[in-house]
Each structure stands twice: as C-alpha cells, then as structure tokens.
Amino acid sequence: ILENRGAVMGCSNPHPHCQIWSTAYLPTEAAKKDSNQLAYAARNGNRPMLVDYVQQELRRDERIVFQNEHWVCVVPFWAVWPFETMLLPRRHVLRLTDLNDGEVSGLAEALKCLLTKYDNLFECSFPYSMGFHGAPTGSRLSGESGHWQLHAVFYPPLLRSATVKKFMVGYEMLAEAQRDLTPESAAARLRELPGDRHYAGDLS
C-alpha cells in the first residue's frame, strides 16, 4: 500500500488517494527487509528486529516524533531524506489485517498527527511518498514470517522550505546518500510542531 502526495513527487491526481500493488515475487526493497529481519531474528533468539528497534528508540527518546498507546513514530537513525519517518506498532504485528480495533484507531490518530506536523513544518501541503511494509502473503503466507514487523515509511523531499527540496545527485547517486541534518534535529523539529492544529485552520 503506497501513497504519493504532491506534484513534486510525481502525483498526477490532486485528490488524496493511495495505491495497492501486488506482485508474484518479493520486490527488491521488501526482499532486503525480509533477509535483514530474518538474519537478525536468527542471531537474536527469534526476536523481530523492528520490535527490538522501537524499544531501543523508546529508551533513548531522541528521535521520537510522536507516540500513543499503540504506535511510535520515529526519524530512524539511517534516514536519508531530511524529514523521513517510520511508524511502528508497539506490539509484534505482521500485517495490517492483524491490527486490533485499538491499534486501528491509534493508527488513524498517529497518521493525522504526523501529517499535520508535516504540513505545519513549512506551512504547505507537504509532499511525500509513503507506504506500508508487512509480512509477505500469497505463496509465502504459509511460510515463517515471525521475523517481520508491520511498519510505514514516509519519504518527504523538502529540505529547508516549501520550495527547497533535497536532490539525490552527484555523490549520492555515485557513492552513498548524505544527510543534510541529523535524525535527532529532524525529530526535534517535527516533535515541537502541533499535531492537533493545522496551520491553515480547521480542515474538517
């Protein structure tokens, strides 16, 4: 499940919408996540990597943007985009269909809060690409998936203002990505913004 928001992200439809993609194979990004999570679980008593990771972030309390009873939003330490975030459930959850009613309500609250903070950052309709990754289904549904943890990722391109975006060019294309600000400072800026009041007023 993915969503692109804003013309700068190539979004051709101005209204909010998302896409659901399904393939008969595990795409590259999901395959990397699968192998890394599986390797971590094998080395750590079958504990899911992202379950351990969210506990580590909660203990450190440096990169958390928002949290409620069921969800934690962080700027991950490996973030490449300036205000990249990851949204994780507190308990071990494989797929969206495994969420209980409280987690569904908590997810709605978390999404509303995060997207409001994004818009408030530069007082604009904040562009991003986002998506959910969960345990594979289809032919892999009957296989071992306990190493997986459901999570959402947000990749927004804006850097310093509503009109200045980060470009992946030069060294970043030929060598490796570079950060323009630390994950901790990005998290602090987002955390300080209101998540319950939109800069444009009541949008309901």
- Annotated catalytic residues are 17
| Alpha carbon separation from 194 to 10, 121, 197 (Å, rounded) | 28, 9, 6
DSSP helix, strand, coil percent of the chain (3-state; round to 5)? 35, 15, 45
Q: How is residue 97 written in tokens?
A: 């269909």
Measured in whole angstroms, the distance separating CA 4 from the mean position of its chain's CA atoms is: 13
If one counts every other C-beta atom within 10 angstroms of the C-beta of residue 159, the result is: 16
Cα–Cα distance between 184 and 79 in angstroms, integer?
A: 10
